[in-house]
Amino acid sequence: MRRGGRGNVNLGGMTWQEVLEFNARTGPTKLYPDRDLPIQRSIRPHELLEIRFFNEIRNSFIQESAFYVRKEKANAVPINDDGLVRYSDRNKPKRKNENLRLSDLDLDPKFFPEELRKTLGAEGGIKKRARRKLDMKTFIDFTINTEDLKDDAPETANPTNEEVPEEVEDEDEDFGDDDDNDYGENYFDNGEGDDFEDYEGEDGGVLD
Amino acid sequence: MSQYAVGLCEILVDEFFGECCSEIASILLRHGRMNLSMLLKRTNLPAPKIRQALASLMQHHMVSFVTAIEQLREVTYYEAQWQEMYNLIRKGKDVYSVSLKLNQETASIAKYVSTQGRARVQDVYSAFGKSPDGTDEESRMLQQNITDLIYLKYLVVVQPRHLIPVGDQEMQLRIKFLEQRKSENVSEIKKNREVNDSVALEMARLQSSDMAENQGLIRKPKDSIPRPAKRKRRNATTSSMTGDLNEILDDENSILLPDPAAHVRVNRAKFSFLARNQRLVYWAERRIGKTTAIVYSHLLAILESKFVGSPSPATVLTITTMELTRNFPKDIDIESCFAKSSNVRKPPAKAALDQLDELEMEEQEEEDEDYEENIDDESNSKSKVLVQHLELLADTALKFITRVGNRGMGEWKIDFAYLTNMLRAVEFENILDEKLGDRATRLLRIIKDKGKIEEKQLANMALLRQKDLRTVLQSMAEMGALELQEVPRSSDRAPSKTFYLWFHRSERAYSIFLDQLYEVIAKMFHRLRDERAQRSQLIDKAERIDIKGKEEEYLQKFEQAELKRLRSYEEKLLLQASRLDELILIFRDE
């Protein structure tokens, strides 16, 4: 049976050879076809400043502003995820905005609908606490260090090169990374094949 | 509104405002406007938290509300403003733009207003520890900075009606006007038409009053305020733009001061306008040259200051050469880039530039002595050179500027509507070039030129073989740059008997591309969140009160390296997001 019928055959400019080749291609295309990944252009000074301001504004939202609404209220006694109170909790950063509420901000009620006005706080109610005064000169920092601008290319390229072969290898190999501490060899001692002479370090003493 | 934009807004709100607000925002974005009871049904959050979240978002203009009377009860509906949520990504850029255009102190003010969303001028004063009536140097400087910001519309005054969506504002006006005309004895159609006209008029009036020059400022007679002597020095050292500002204030017998009761917020539209102009200057530099691009950037700067606020695309702005000459800074050398046709053989370009620079400096020094007599000559010659530059700009295919008249040594206009489209087309071609190569760009231009064209004719025109074309056209179609039109020759639409025409629809291509950009930026923020989550223990440890600031002492080497790696990832991701954001600005044109 001839492809395309008699007479006018519209192959779209291809020859029979190419049509046959095209049909002979089997197998799916690669999920991640080979690509030349472009390298990111290095950071310019103005971009560095922009990112710095973005981060500062974001941090001020998260840490200091009353607009960050948390789901759980912070208790006077901090409790961890597992319900226990620990000694190291006293070192946890106390966010300034855990006790701040919108009513501390003294917002103007005419910009809000009726039903939200009570979240803004009663008029003439509790006076807002004195807020930290911002110093005009140090509030915003425009200094650029040349180290910030330099490409960390050699340093960050190597870790990524190392990571890829690591993922391919066995998972256990990953744990062999921390050489600096005491738990190096005993990290994953699941008890197989241990006579008690092999018992070296603390079993299960790795705090996570 | 695309799903990727919604995803991006959710994650941005989560970054800044936390989980509660992000949940509320996502419900409002995905399900449209709703009132409080509907919100309660869709979420597990307790009612007080919902109200707090709504109030927070409203303070930052991300949620707007309208109170309507339904069935004898007052119901308030809340609507999400996704453009404002998206603008969270640009907070850093806005602060930096202000610092470029004005000075660093104004940037601090802008940063403060950014963190508050919307601030009373009074509160801005007190946040920096000053009061509006203070007379010391710092207070005065703060006052001047705030005035500049408000006058130039980097900070814009907010009224309560700005929080109501535009459609609802019109509806309210319509109801009001219908009420007024209820008793008139005219036909329905005529009444409706009149009401529509009044509504449109009223909206235009309100909009223009927003953009009015003195919005947010009050006048006080000059004499009531003791003026320190330092003011004169400021006049001499500030740039020409604020120099003009001081002149304006000094001409009349009063001073403009910020109104302490006014509420202000950062005016994003103005920054978009400025950023777009920067992009235009970049393309002018690529197409013509650096000096001409500098001339163009000064021209645009003058237009920006003339236009208080951001112009709607329909406006057309004109400027005369004389005005440009007057405001052009004197230390820029604009002549040496033109080759003079003379019999003397020219030395290499750089040496010529240096030589001419020196000559011009000497000339200027000489001229300064007999300044008054030669001022006309100098500005005339400068005008002539500027006219040359402007003509270069006007002659390009991209029409950066067009000549309109002859008064003042040449009047030029800039058509922003045309330039926006042109900028998008140029950027799109650039992106296509980088993705698929120059063959694709060439084909796109041919297709745009010809309208709808068949593959065979395209092959003839582009001097390529059909099978070479095919892959490129296919990838362009996948990108959204091209579409196929089928024209059947027979009644049964057999593929061998139909014409297939390729054509380019720019609107669709740009919106597909915008969507992809949103997706990419959202993925970057997801990745950022992920990287942080992977290292959450480390971050918690580094933020402990006894460790913070003393990382070198307390953290191990590998932990410090890990932290450094995290910082570098953050920087890379945010950097790329902000670069892509520039493209979004061009293609979305707010």
Tens digits of residue pLDDT in B38-54: 888 888 888 888 888 88
Name every chain B residue with its beta carbon within 8 A of the beta carbon of A78. Answer: none
At B444 the pLDDT is 92
Question: Given an 8 Å threshold on Cβ–Cβ distance, is A102 in contact with B118?
Answer: no
At A166 the pLDDT is 36
Q: ipTM greater than 0.85, yes or no?
A: no
At B106 the pLDDT is 83
pLDDT at A162 over 80: no
Average pLDDT over residues B298-307: 77
B129 vs B465, more confident: B465
Chain-wide mean pLDDT for chain B?
78
What six digits make up the tokens of B282?
A: 């970049």
At B64 the pLDDT is 86
Nearest to B412 by CA among B380, B387, B385: B387
pLDDT at A125 over 50: no
Average pLDDT over residues A60-64: 83
User: Is residue B529 very low, low, confident or very high in pLDDT (cuts 50, 70, 90)?
Assistant: very high
A48-57, B234-243, B424-433: the lowest-pLDDT one = B234-243
User: Is residue B523 very low, low, confident or very high in pLDDT (cuts 50, 70, 90)?
Assistant: very high
Question: Given an 8 Å threshold on Cβ–Cβ distance, is A68 in contact with B17?
Answer: yes
Question: Given an 8 Å threshold on Cβ–Cβ distance, is B104 in contact with A51?
Answer: no
User: What is the Cα–Cα distance from B245 to B153, expressed in whole angstroms?
Assistant: 13
Contact status of A196 with chain B (Cβ, < 8 Å): no
Q: Model-level pTM greater than 0.80?
A: no
B62-66, B308-312, B430-434: the lowest-pLDDT one = B308-312
At B45 the pLDDT is 84
Nearest chain A CA: its distance from B496 CA (Å)? 6
CB atoms under 10 Å from CB of B347, counted, come to 11
pLDDT at B11 over 70: yes
Nearest chain B CA: its distance from A197 CA (Å)? 31
B4 close to B519: Cβ distance less than 8 angstroms: yes
A142 vs B43, more confident: B43
A156 vs B166, more confident: B166
Residue of A8, A65, A67, A155 best to disrupt the B interface, most CBs of B under 10 A:
A67
Residue B229 DSSP class: T
pLDDT in tens, B60-72: 888 888 888 777 7
CB atoms under 10 Å from CB of B507, counted, come to 8
Residues 134 to 153 of A: which have CB under 8 A from any B CB?
134-136, 139-140, 142, 152
A115-129, B444-458, B476-490: the lowest-pLDDT one = A115-129
Quickly list DSSP for B379-439. HHHHHHHHHHHHHHHHHSTT-S-EEEE-TTS-EEEEEHHHHHHHHHHHHHHHHHHHHH-HH
User: What is the Cα–Cα distance from B199 to B194, expressed in whole angstroms?
Assistant: 9
Question: Given an 8 Å threshold on Cβ–Cβ distance, is B160 in contact with A88?
Answer: no
Residue of A136, A141, A178, A183 best to disrupt the B interface, most CBs of B under 10 A:
A136
Distance of CA B206 to the CA centre of its chain: 22
Question: Given an 8 Å threshold on Cβ–Cβ distance, is B115 in contact with A60?
Answer: yes
pLDDT at B324 over 50: yes
What six digits make up the tokens of B141?
A: 């400087």
pLDDT in tens, B108-133: 888 888 888 888 888 888 777 777 66
CB atoms under 10 Å from CB of B334, counted, come to 17
What six digits make up the tokens of B321?
A: 């050469």
B299 close to B319: Cβ distance less than 8 angstroms: yes
Q: Which residues contact A31 (CB under 8 A, 6 or more apart)?
A: none
Question: Given an 8 Å threshold on Cβ–Cβ distance, is B129 in contact with A58?
Answer: no
Give the closest of B53, B55, B120 to A120, CB-based. Answer: B55
Chain-wide mean pLDDT for chain A?
65
Residues 479 to 508 of B: which have CB under 8 A from any A CB?
495-496
User: Is residue B156 very low, low, confident or very high in pLDDT (cuts 50, 70, 90)?
Assistant: confident
Average pLDDT over residues B181-205: 80
Phi, psi (degrees; rounded to nearest 5) at B219 = -95, 140
Question: Given an 8 Å threshold on Cβ–Cβ distance, is A43 in contact with B48?
Answer: no
Nearest chain B CA: its distance from A191 CA (Å)? 27
Question: Given an 8 Å threshold on Cβ–Cβ distance, is B163 in contact with A111?
Answer: yes
Nearest chain B CA: its distance from A36 CA (Å)? 11
B145-149, B282-286, B321-325: the lowest-pLDDT one = B321-325
Give the closest of B52, B112, B118 to A69, CB-based. Answer: B52
B23 vs A183, more confident: B23
User: What is the Cα–Cα distance from B459 to B443, expressed in whole angstroms?
Assistant: 9
Question: Given an 8 Å threshold on Cβ–Cβ distance, is A131 in contact with B45?
Answer: no
pLDDT in tens, B66-113: 888 777 788 888 888 888 888 888 888 888 888 888 888 888 888 888
pLDDT at A106 over 80: no
Name every chain A residue with its beta carbon within 8 A of the beta carbon of B105. Answer: 136
Percent of chain A exceeding pLDDT 90 equals: 0
Question: Given an 8 Å threshold on Cβ–Cβ distance, is B54 in contact with A107?
Answer: no
Considering just the CA atoms, what is the radius of gyration of chain A in Å?
Answer: 32
B272-276, B280-284, B304-308: the lowest-pLDDT one = B304-308
Contact status of B556 with chain A (Cβ, < 8 Å): yes
At B362 the pLDDT is 42
Residues 49 to 108 of B: which have CB under 8 A from any A CB?
49, 51-56, 58-60, 65, 67, 74, 76, 89, 91-93, 95-96, 99, 104-105, 107-108
User: Is residue B519 very low, low, confident or very high in pLDDT (cuts 50, 70, 90)?
Assistant: very high
Question: Given an 8 Å threshold on Cβ–Cβ distance, is A114 in contact with B74?
Answer: yes
Percent of chain B exceeding pLDDT 70 equals: 79
